[in-house]
Structure 1
Amino acid sequence: MKKFIYIVSFLFSTMLFAQNQNLFEEGNTLYNEGKYAEAIDKYTAILETGNHSAGLYYNLANAHYKLNHIAPSIYYYEKAILLNPDDTDIENNIAFAKNMTIDAIDVIPEVGLSKIVKNTTNTLSFDSWAKLTVALVFCFVILFLVYYFAYSTLVKRFTFVSSLVSLFLVCVALAFAFHKYNLDKKDNPAIVFVQESKVMSNPNLRSDEAFRLHEGTKVQVIDAYDDWKKIKLSDGKTGWIISDDIKLLKEF
């Protein structure tokens, strides 16, 4: 019975993959013909099957960009870059899309040690830092074993010092791994999806208006209460926005 279920699942997955591949190619053809709305329908149909990829989001963003859909184009470019952060084409296109936004929000620059630590932490993903830590632990163990069983004084000195250096690097890599994990956990970006949204000082419509945001603006969600989300801008401003006015980027 289990074997039969595995076979059915495999056949279903194969059929779904073939179907999505056909939809993707049809979407690309429509896009090349200038039929951007129809291309969006094809790409969206793939998303509805639970298939997600940087290429799919990139093409979907391009189609929205051609139709001057500010929020959706930025939203899908941002999702594409989450899955493929090193793609320069995505970075270039998202820069063009952001030129369509209204809000000009300054970025508070980080300086000193905090900037160095953050930049170093972001050079690798959490998984990469974890793998580096494991590799360094392996090096430490090998060097320590060589030190323990070596007869030569010179070899003992070299492996002893090297093992201490490896152990130190293990601690450093582990610290960066945990720091990266915490940064990723706090990172909860979203895109404003309405033409204009009032950001309030408290999570209710009776409170004072703090400021207004327009479609396509990227914010950080730092808290939630009922139908409200507390957001923070890159210039440090905070406020409460109606949940339906934004779409979270990390929801796949």
Structure 2
Amino acid sequence: MMEQLNRSKQFYLFIVFTCVSIFAMAQNEALFKKGNDFYNEGKYQKAIDAYLEVSENNEHSAALYYNLGNSYYKLNQIAPSIYYYEKALLLDPNDQDIQNNLQFAKNMTIDAIDVMPQTGIDKIFENFVGKLSYQTWAVLAIVAMVAFVVLFLLYYFSAYSSKKRIFFGLSILFVIISLASLGFAYQQQGLELNKQPAIIFAKETSVMSEPNMGSSEVFKLHEGTKVNVLEVLGEWKKIKLADGKIGWLPNNDLKEIKDF
């Protein structure tokens, strides 16, 4: 009897959860369409309000952030436009429209940051290992390990010495591929975790040598510039530019992109 009651309760909770989820999805779709209508009518601030309401409902998509970026760009608000284009690019790195519009927005920024050139091992790593995400390398490691097991079994049960040599050689090759892919996945995951990109939102801000206003100014940054957050200390964040410059900024002067 008690078991039947528990099952009935679980079924009831499942139905309620499903209904709530469907209602939330329908509401988000309606808000998204409303935002699109406002955008097409040239009412960009109203479009932003509708899109932000969708975002506040824990809806995250490249299309949503792309539309937010477009809306802010139309209002000449450079920092938020770049911020949302960057968020969209995180979710869809290969979208050409996002890449193009992001570049248009970046062309309106003041700071010209030269990217530090890569040399030697770093360049080789980026050109080869960096082409795939750590998830892809992990999947490749698993596939290669499965291939190794199959080939090793074929080697073990094969009756012909010529085939045994082939299967043995291929099994060794795949176990090497699996271990290498696992190592690349680990390296890529470490790099991803160390990447905490952020966008400067202050019109102009002074980057300090230490996390306090009494320290010396290292350089200035302006809205829309992309930085990488290295460390957080109280109300300050240590940032690094693409050209290698490092300094401290107040929390309120920038917004981190990976906040979902």
Which TM-score band (shorter chain)? over 0.9
Q: Match for 1:163 among 140, 164, 171?
A: 171
**Which residue of structure 1 lines up, in the alignment, with residue 243 of structure 2?**
235
Give how far 1:112 is off.
2.0
Aligned equivalents of 2:179 and 2:23: distance in 1? 48
Which residues of structure 1 form unaligned runs of 5+?
Answer: none
Structure 1: how far apart are the matches of 2:25 and 2:179? Answer: 43
3-state SS of the aligned residue for 2:131? coil
The residue that corresponds to 1:187 in the other structure is 195
The yes-or-no answer on 1:54 pairing with 2:62 is yes
Gaps in structure 2 of 5+ consecutive residues: 1-8
Structure 2 SS opposite 1:100? coil
Q: Deviations over 1:12-50 (max 9, x none)?
A: 111111111111111111111111111001101101111
Following superposition, the deviation at residue 161 of structure 1 comes to 0.6
> C-alpha distance in 1, partners of 2:243/2:125?
20
Give the corresponding residue for 2:183.
175
Q: How many pairs were matched up?
A: 252
Q: Which residue of 1 aligns with 2:3?
A: none
Q: Report Cα offsets for 1:90-143 as digits up to 9, x if no partner.
A: 000000000110000111110222211122222111111111000000000001
Code of the residue aligned with 1:251 in structure 2: it is D
Identity of paired residues, percent? 50
How far apart, in 1, do the equivalents of 2:108 and 2:232 lie? 29
TM-score, normalising length: structure 2 = 0.95
Partner AA of 1:25 in structure 2: K
Q: Work out the CA distance in 2 between the residues paired with 1:168 and 1:52.
A: 38
Higher mean C-alpha displacement, 175-184 vs 3-12? 3-12
Flag as ranges the 4+ runs of structure 1 deviating above 6 A. Answer: none
Shift of 1:203: 0.3
RMSD: 0.8
> Bigger CA drift: 107-116 or 202-211?
107-116
Name the SS of the counterpart of 1:122 in structure 2.
Answer: helix
Question: Residue 139 of structure 1: which of 136, 147, 158 is its match?
Answer: 147
1:208 counterpart residue number = 216
Matched to 1:197, the amino acid is T
State the partner residue of 1:99.
107
**Aligned equivalents of 1:59, 1:4: Cα separation in 2:** 38
For 2:12 and 2:156, the matched residues in 1 are separated by 55
Q: Are residue 40 (structure 1) and residue 73 (structure 2) matched?
A: no
Of the three residues 3, 6, 19, the one matched with 2:11 is 3
The one-character-per-residue Cα deviations of 1:51-76 (angstroms, maximum 9, x if unpaired) are 11010000010000000000000000
Equivalent position SS for 2:207: strand
Residue 234 of structure 2 aligns with which residue? 226
Counterpart-to-counterpart distance in 1, 2:127 and 2:63: 27
Rounded Cα–Cα distance in structure 1 between residues aligned with 2:12 and 2:150:
47
- Please give the TM-score of this superposition, normalised by the length of structure 1: 0.98
How far did 1:240 drift?
A: 0.3
SS in 1 for 2:23: helix
Give the 3-state SS of the residue equivalent to 1:57 in structure 2: helix
CA–CA distance in structure 2, aligned partners of residues 159 and 112 of structure 1 = 36
